[in-house]
Structure 1
Amino acid sequence: MTQDELYINTIRFLAVDAVQKANSGHPGAPMGAAPMAYVLWQHFLKHNPCDASWVDRDRFILSAGHASALLYSLLYLTGYDLPLDELKNFRQWGSKTPGHPEFGLTPGVETTTGPLGQGFANGVGMAIAEKWLSEHYNRPGHKVIDHYTYAIVSDGDLMEGVSSEAASLAGTLRLSKLIYLYDDNNISIEGDTDITFTEDVGQRFSAYGWQVIGPIDGMDTDSVYNAIKIAQTDQDHPSLVICKTIIGYGSPNRQGTGLAHGEPLGEEEVELAKQRLGWLYKEPFIVPTEALKHLRQAQERGRKQQSEWQNQMKKYRSAYPEEARRLEVDLSGDLPDGWDKGLDGLFLKEEKPMATREASGMVLNIVSQKVHALVGGSADLAPSTKTTLKEKGHFGVDNYRGHNLHFGVREHAMGAIASGMALHGGIIPYTATFLVFYDYMRPAVRLASMMKQRVIFIFTHDSVGLGEDGPTHQPIEQLA
């Protein structure tokens, strides 16, 4: 067994042991994705396990949230505030290792995932936030906002419509700091993906405007490393690295089958898998000292990277004091003093009746004059929802500083992307559509609520009296 194989197997079998002890969970994806996760976390991911909230860290999303045991293994091994006992308590009431990752519960978890496709779209929002902040605040010689958004996405993620919506927008916006590793293992719960999912994913993402790398051997660390390096060189496109992996890798009787996906391997099969991969420890939850020492180097790397950034911020404050002050206000999430100035008495002089969407639009524009972090848009309905911010510019490839974001007719992705923007920090996002179309984005709104994120969801045309638009646009069921 090589050194890298030792480290990868440490990650892999911690996940397997956690699932087996809980007698519940998904061992297959962690077993197959461990090599790509190891390469990303060991060689590329800029993060500080001692400070999970560092502003300029890279973001990592496990969009395939069912593989949560993989993420928990990585967090423990790299030194986040997640003790080994929490892995032993996987999927148990009150633990910090729930069945699917939950933001705000487990240090290092960037977003709540589990409903497939949501993490994919959240990542697009995070990349938008990084781009917007970097364009507003970076100066020559002072890159104070400069990080990537990475994710591991699954076959199921790419089947979900929300990922298509989000991928299309990401390609249109040319979000080059967005790099996704596609865990292409060709297996879902019901069996081989050939029964439902035969499209050419690479051609599909190329059509969206992504750089597509591979397919590569996702079990080979050198191939994964080289692919990520290539992805980082593209300054004009988001990147999808198609990694061919083997679900349940190492399991003699379940590898490459649906049996490895959503249930524990069983004690006997766990032992056989460990024997096949040369893992010498029969007892569960064994972490070789050498492996822990190696993976915990992430703490020192992270402290050094954050210290260098803090020194850079010190120079930035000296050179650009006003920009630094505003950046810190944006990142804090605090509303500036006087943010509501001009709202008092706004409608006192109004004699004629006014539509609520008109009034809402007026309020939004007054607030935007004081709240620099306010950024958002609608699902191609801004003229109707009255949510355009006047004289604030339009976010896009010609102007990444704009405050008006065009989501297109993509309500589901709009909600999830806005959550990603809020999770990233530095932006107060808003979205807008007709109330009747809330159903298209309900899952994303639900998760935003679960994560307690400050996303402003604006729903107009909220009356059954819509008249000419007819019953298709009357929000009867929504109001019932």
Structure 2
Amino acid sequence: MAPTENTSPTGWRDPLDLEAVRHARVLPLDVVQAKGNGHAGTAVSLTPALYVLFQEYLRHDPAHPDWEGRDRFVLSAGHTSLSLYLQHYLSGYGLELDDLKKARALGSLTPGHPEWGHTPGVETTTGPLGQGVGNAVGLAMSARRVHALLEPETTPDEGLFRYRTWCVAGDGCLSEGVSQEASSLAGTLGLDGLILVWDDNRISIEGDTAIAFTEDVVARYRAYGWAIVEIEDAEDPDAIRAGFDAAVAVTGQPVFVRLRTRIGHPMPTVGGTAGAHSGAPGDAEVAATKEALGLDPEQFFAMPAEALAHARRVRERGAAAREDWQTRYDAWRSADPERAALHDRMRERDVTPAAREKLSALRAEPQKVATRIASGAVLNTVAAELPWLWGGSADLAETNNVVISGARSFTPTDYAGDEWPGGPDGSLVHFGIREHAMGAVLNGIALAGYSHPFGATFFVFSDYMRPSVRLAALMGLPVTYVWTHDSVGVGEDGPTHQPVEHLWSHRAIPGLDVVRPADWTETVDAWTRILTADRPTALVLSRQGVPVVSADVPAGEGAHRGAYVLADADATPDLIIVATGSEVGLAMQARDLLTAEGIGVRVVSAPCLEWFEEQDLAYRESVLPRAIAARVSVEAGTGTGWHRYVGTHGEIVSVEEFGASGAGDLVLAERGITVDAVVAAARRSLDATRPEQNPLSEGTNR
């Protein structure tokens, strides 16, 4: 929406704009004072700038918050959620005064931090500072790529799918490393259409940011390759418009807007101090602020009906913009049915029949290789069929096996490198050594709605990504993490590069599927299911080669179910061995030795416990019958959660200390991941469940 000419001596287009802003900016004070907790100060001081943005610059239709042609707005400083809720209230997204009064209350539409999928119009879940900056970068990357794939002949300004991404961040966001990594990447990519507004109020919870945050932030962003716009007065609508005009005029670069504010302005005593950041300001301060704005201090939660109706006229402008977009979109579909079909496939993340056939053919030709190599084979097999599947690595693409033969890299149009040819339509992203930002960017790409992105690194470095992974799980985003070098079997790089506690620490995240396939076949099966996932998946892969153990398992009956019977005894088993990943091969070897002793052994491969827990009780009981108490789990990581599956008399073969530098097979043996260790554990479990060996059993066969 184009800005409208200023017709008011106050800088507002209409006196009713001033009325709306005056009343709106004290609503956070009323909310927080009534509740006794919350963050009001930033919402108070940002109201003029955000009102100008939502009323005059942001392309949106509040009646259709999911309209495909809308601009995206990300509130990285999620603690000031009232800033966003206010604009949604004024714009007519469905929030009313009662919703503002219920802010931070259980079940309300106005939770303490914005939540995607919960409140209409919220583009992403924010709160952990800086994450929203990474999300915004991902949203902007998606806009560039979708435009390049669907409208390559159209300029960005005329593109149907080339929205702008606006992001508001505070001092805390820009202090966090994730925002710095993401901003560096955005500058390198020259992400035009991305506008980051820095609420420069120089206050954090501990007071003046000068105690810990003193660099020249503008110079830093200039060094990243961003265009710079500075707005010195966040109270002046004309200055705000001039800054936003300059920002939207920039091409070829992301834009960093420094917006100078006084937190809590015009609060006379608390404003400009850490006291404005959070907590109830006090009745006297609220009253004095209302008086400073010329409002009645005895009125609470007030908004003149005429001013609200005037603000909600943005719905009319939004509806007109959406209808114009729809007309152009319909014409585009008619003129270019091939790209329209591609658009539909990307929106639906359609796994084509051709892709499924290729996966079946790949599955039928198993190889004795590392599962990271099997994963790479899957990507190379289906990538051309699935343009919505794209991503990359934190500078480890070839080692993580996410390089797709013949695929172009996602680069600026004028990138001149020969090693990685590409352009804005590329499918291989070079995130650089930025795992933290990679996680947040992947979330933004997924939130855009056209993609199932993947990001790769060594499993041990997944810790750098954890906040983003947790948010992906919280939002239920289709993101896949390709985490290779999955155990102490990494070998010579030593304990700094050998994950030990990581499997169970990630299994502890609700909504994240952790998949550790045993071989080629399980890896293909895992990817086949992952491609239709509607939540995040961690695909944890081996560095070392592994034997093929599941080639004879029919498709759909193995890894797809999370855990399954890979090999069984001739009669009722005496013992169950449960294993994952490279240790399934060890379990099979142990079975052979125990079977030779006359012990009936069932081997259960359990590549994904989350998928297994989704199965019905009858299936889970058929795999792990309660009547069979002698059990062993074997996995090259800590045994933290295996007690649930092996029970009181079960044994856990695991790695309970850090690794060491040496050949991978020797380190595994040094840390007790051997066939002999599994056999010994099996004998201990069998002894514990035999009545004659267990005085507590009282003759009962446990």
- In structure 2, the residue matched to 1:473 is 497
Find the counterpart in structure 1 of residue 381 from structure 2: 366
Is the contact between residue 19 and residue 25 of structure 1 (CA under 8 Å) also seen in structure 2?
Answer: yes
> What's 2:113 paired with?
100
The answer on 1:440 being equivalent to 2:464 is yes
User: Which of residues 149, 161, 169 in structure 2 aligns to 1:136?
Assistant: 149
Corresponding residue of 1:36: 49
Alignment of 1:196-275 (within 5 A): 196-214=212-230, 216-275=232-291
What is the match of residue 396 of structure 1?
A: 411
Alignment of 1:386-465 (within 5 A): 386-398=401-413, 399-465=423-489
1:187–1:366 CA distance, 2 compared to 1 (3 A): same
- In structure 2, the CA distance between the partners of 1:298 and 1:371, relative to structure 1 (3 Å rule), is same
- Return the match for 1:183 from 194, 199, 207: 199
The separation in 2 between residues aligned to 1:260 and 1:348, in whole angstroms, is 64
* Residue from 383, 391, 414 that aligns with 2:398: 383
Q: Which moved more, 1:14-23 or 1:449-458?
A: 14-23
2:488 alignment partner, SS class: coil
Are 2:96 and 1:72 aligned?
no
- 2:142 and 2:268 map into 1 onto residues whose CA distance is 44
Offset from partner CA, 1:207-252 (integer Å, 9 cap, x none): 0000111252222211111111111111111111111101011212
Cross-structure match for 1:87? 100
Tell me if 1:12 matches 2:25.
yes
Distance 1:155 1:264, change over 3 A: same
- Residues of 2 paired with 1:315 and 1:166: CA distance? 36
In structure 2, the residue corresponding to 1:468 is in which secondary structure?
A: coil
- Alignment map for 1:282-301 (pairs within 5 Å): 282-301=298-317
**1:182-206 CA distance string (max 9 Å, x none):** 1000100000011011100010000
Bigger Cα displacement from structure 2, 368-377 vs 15-24: 15-24
RMSD: 1.5
How far 1:317 moved relative to its partner? 1.0
Q: How does 1:146-185 map to 2 (within 5 A)?
A: 146-185=162-201
Say if 1:18 and 1:69, in contact at 8 Å, map to a contact too: no
Q: Is the 8 A contact 1:137 1:144 kept in 2?
A: no
Deviations 1:292-347 (A, max 9, x none): 12210111111111111110011101110110121122123343444322112424
How many angstroms apart in 2 are the aligned matches of 1:253 and 1:350? 72
Q: What amino acid does structure 2 have at the position aligned with 1:117?
A: G
Q: Is the 8 Å Cα contact of residues 333 and 425 (structure 1) preserved in structure 2?
A: no
Given the superposition, is the C-alpha separation of residues 410 and 146 from structure 1 closer, same or farther in structure 2, using an over 3 Å criterion?
same
User: Aligned partners of 1:218, 1:268: CA distance in 2, in Å?
Assistant: 25
CA distances 1:131-190 after superposition (whole Å, capped 9, x unpaired): 000111115467221210001110000000000000000000001100111100010000
C-alpha change, 1:308 and 1:406, in structure 2 (3 Å) is same
Aligned partner (choices 71, 77, 97) of residue 58 of structure 1: 71
1:314 is matched with 330
Written as runs of structure 1 = structure 2, the 5 A alignment for 1:101-120 is: 101-120=114-133
Bigger relative CO (Cα 8 Å, ≥ 6 apart): 1
1:265 to partner: Cα distance: 1.2
Residues 118 and 395 of structure 1, relative CA distance in 2, 3 Å threshold: same
Match of 1:357 among 349, 362, 372: 372
1:21 is matched with 34
Q: Is the 8 A contact 1:22 1:92 kept in 2?
A: no
Specify the SS of the correspondent of 1:262: coil
Please state whether the residue corresponding to 1:367 is helix, strand or coil: helix
- Residue 57 of structure 1 deviates from its aligned partner by 0.3
Structure 2 counterpart SS, 1:328:
helix
Please, which of 32, 36, 47 is the counterpart of residue 60 of structure 2? Answer: 47
- Report if aligned partners of 1:89, 1:97 keep a CA contact under 8 Å in 2: yes
TM-score (norm 2): 0.67
Cα separation, 2, equivalents of 1:350 and 1:338: 20
**Separation of aligned partners in 2, 1:143 and 1:213:** 25
Shift in Å at residue 6 of structure 1? 1.9
**Residue-pair matches, total:** 479
Q: Deviations over 1:80-100 (max 9, x none)?
A: 122322111111011111111
Report SS of the residue matched to 1:433.
strand
Tell me, which stretches of 5 or more residues in structure 1 are unaligned? none
Q: Distance in 2 between matches of 1:390 and 1:124?
A: 26
The separation in 2 between residues aligned to 1:478 and 1:51, in whole angstroms, is: 42
- In structure 2, what is the Cα distance between the partners aligned to 1:301 and 1:331? 26
In 2, Cα distance between equivalents of 1:15 and 1:339 = 52
Contact in 1 for aligned 2:20/2:303 (Cα 8 Å): no
Does the 8 A contact of 2:288 with 2:297 survive in 1? no
Over 6 Å off, 4+ runs: none
Q: In structure 1, what residue type is equivalent to 2:104?
A: R
Contact 1:151 1:179 in 2 (8 A): yes
Contact 2:355–2:385 under 8 Å retained in 1: yes
Change (3 A) 1:360 1:261: same
Counterpart-to-counterpart distance in 2, 1:412 and 1:36 = 30
Q: Which amino acid aligns with 2:482?
A: I
* Aligned-partner residue type, residue 423 of structure 1: L
Letter of the aligned partner of 1:225 in structure 2?
A: R
Q: Which amino acid aligns with 2:497?
A: H
Name the SS of the counterpart of 1:308 in structure 2.
helix
Match of 1:405, SS state, is strand
Q: Which has the larger radius of gyration?
A: 2
How far the C-alpha of 1:467 sits from its partner, in A, is 1.2
Q: Work out whether residues 192 and 258 of structure 1, in 8 Å CA contact, stay in contact via their aligned partners in 2.
A: yes
Which consecutive unaligned segments of at least 5 residues does structure 2 have?
Answer: 1-9, 414-422, 504-637, 639-702
CA distance in 1, matches of 2:480, 2:372: 14
Contact 1:19 1:69 in 2 (8 A): no
Contact 1:465/1:474, CA 8 A, preserved across alignment: yes
